[in-house]
């Protein structure tokens, strides 16, 4: 039998109410999650670890680095795949963070649930079963970190939570999922693509701000960033990556001190590079020293920049966000 490691971090998949009428909170450890699917023990030799029991809003980069260290040790110790369960609220960010640092061919699969463990029709066990099936599938090798949820398989770079409470809460806008589950089997749309991986960060105290441009917004927060100790900035810009004239000027002042990336706040589609010529448009912003995010969403840009700053590898932005 194949060797699989399953780690749990908390989230709705692990949540129950402590007493009738109370809200749900993380309760179930990894063994309890696995106990809902006794058949898994017949398809793989499974090691479990309850790595934390948190709502995913409270996961942080330090915790994720510990999770990564655990997952690396499992693979180095012989695991042929790793599955993580966590809350869905920040899953798109944790998946990308781990993907950028996952050096192995072995799959690292992340899943969660939209309905808590005590709700009728909970999706946790079905998602966990699908995640294990994907993890053990030889076709999943070499694809980095994948998100398996609602019978879809998403690439870490593209996946986003696009609905707050719906069961179909995840999408990969623009590209679509990389695969789907059909009768318990992963069906991929294309072979694995070449991957690049970042060095582990040597520092973890760097700070990267993420601000969204909004109609009529002033520049007070932008101007305060250097004295607040920020080392980088991501702006979720209008449309194809645009900001107001006032923001363009404030951001130009920042770009001489720190990397500034401009993404789109629209939720889908890439930023432009060579279309708009007005002040605050992408041509102007690039001339002022900023980088356009392409198809990478603002939240994923922040994670990329945080990791690059932490590893002293900011010049690698060239590779990740080519001009």
Active site (catalytic) residues: 12
Q: Smallest distance from the beta carbon of 113 to ligand GLU, in angstroms?
A: 6
Half-sphere exposure in the Cβ direction for 153 (13 Å, CA): 30
Q: Could you give the C-alpha distances from 7 to 10, 36, 154, in angstroms and in order?
A: 10, 15, 19
**Of 239, 272, 241, 261, which is closest to residue 314 (Cα–Cα)?**
261
Q: Which of residues 112-131 bind ligand GLU (CB under 6 A)?
A: 112-114
Nearer to ligand GLU, 91 or 155 (CB): 91
Q: Smallest distance from the beta carbon of 151 to ligand GLU, in angstroms?
A: 16
3-state secondary structure of 24: strand
d(CA 210, CA 226): 14
Q: Smallest distance from the beta carbon of 150 to ligand GLU, in angstroms?
A: 12
Give Cα 38 to chain centroid, integer Å. 29
Sole binder of ligand GLU in the list 7, 11, 124, 237 (CB under 6 A): 11
Q: Smallest distance from the beta carbon of 259 to ligand GLU, in angstroms?
A: 29
Q: Smallest distance from the beta carbon of 27 to ligand GLU, in angstroms?
A: 12
How big is the site for ligand GLU, counted in residues (CB under 6 A)? 10
Q: Smallest distance from the beta carbon of 229 to ligand GLU, in angstroms?
A: 28
d(CA 227, CA 209): 13
Q: Which of residues 43-62 bind ligand GLU (CB under 6 A)?
A: 55-56
Nearer to ligand GLU, 23 or 216 (CB): 23
Nearer to ligand GLU, 87 or 298 (CB): 87
Residues pairing with 237 in the sheet = 264
Q: Which of residues 72-91 bind ligand GLU (CB under 6 A)?
A: 87-89
Nearer to ligand GLU, 50 or 56 (CB): 56
Nearer to ligand GLU, 89 or 106 (CB): 89
Q: Which of residues 93-112 bind ligand GLU (CB under 6 A)?
A: 112
Tokens of 135: 């993890």
Nearer to ligand GLU, 89 or 99 (CB): 89
d(CA 82, CA 79): 7
Output the residue with the shortest Cβ distance to ligand GLU: 87
Contact 16, 27 (CB under 8 A): yes
Q: DSSP of 139-191, one letter per residue?
A: GGTTS-EEEEETTEEEETTT-EE--SS-SS-EE-TTT--SEEEETTEEEESSP
Q: Which of residues 226-255 bind ligand GLU (CB under 6 A)?
A: none
Half-sphere exposure in the Cβ direction for 162 (13 Å, CA): 15
What's the maximum distance between 2 C-alpha atoms anywhere in the chain?
62
Write out the E strands in 179-306.
179-182, 185-188, 208-212, 232-237, 260-264, 291-292
| Chain residues in the site for ligand GLU (CB under 6 A) | 11-12, 55-56, 87-89, 112-114
């Amino acid at each position: 039998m194949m060797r699989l490691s399953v780690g749990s971090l908390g989230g709705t998949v692990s949540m129950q109410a402590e007493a009738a009428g109370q809200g749900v909170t993380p309760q179930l450890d990894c063994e309890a999650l696995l106990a809902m699917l006794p058949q898994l023990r017949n398809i793989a030799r499974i090691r479990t670890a309850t790595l934390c029991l948190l709502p995913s809003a409270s996961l942080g980069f330090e915790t994720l680095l510990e999770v990564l260290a655990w997952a690396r040790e499992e693979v180095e110790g012989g695991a042929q795949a790793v599955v993580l369960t966590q809350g869905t609220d920040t899953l798109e960010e944790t998946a990308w963070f781990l993907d950028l640092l996952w050096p192995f061919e072995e799959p690292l699969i992340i899943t969660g649930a939209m309905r808590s463990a005590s709700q009728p029709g909970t999706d946790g066990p079905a998602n966990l079963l699908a995640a294990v099936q994907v993890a053990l599938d030889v076709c999943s090798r070499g694809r980095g970190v994948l998100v398996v949820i609602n019978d879809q398989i998403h690439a870490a770079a593209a996946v986003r939570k696009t609905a707050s409470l719906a069961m179909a809460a995840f999408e990969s806008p623009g590209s679509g999922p990389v695969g789907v589950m059909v009768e318990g089997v992963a069906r991929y749309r294309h072979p694995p693509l070449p991957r690049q991986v970042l060095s582990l960060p040597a520092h973890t105290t760097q700070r990267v701000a993420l601000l969204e441009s909004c109609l009529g917004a002033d520049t007070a927060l932008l101007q305060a960033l250097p004295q607040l100790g920020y080392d980088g900035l991501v702006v979720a810009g209008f449309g194809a990556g645009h900001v107001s004239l006032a923001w363009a000027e404030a951001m130009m002042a920042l770009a001489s001190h720190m990397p500034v990336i401009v993404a789109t706040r629209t939720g889908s589609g890439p930023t432009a590079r060579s279309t708009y010529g007005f002040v605050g448009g992408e041509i102007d912003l690039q001339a002022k020293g900023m980088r356009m995010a392409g198809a990478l969403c603002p939240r994923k840009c922040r994670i990329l920049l945080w990791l690059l700053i932490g590893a002293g590898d900011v010049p690698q932005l060239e590779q990740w966000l080519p001009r």
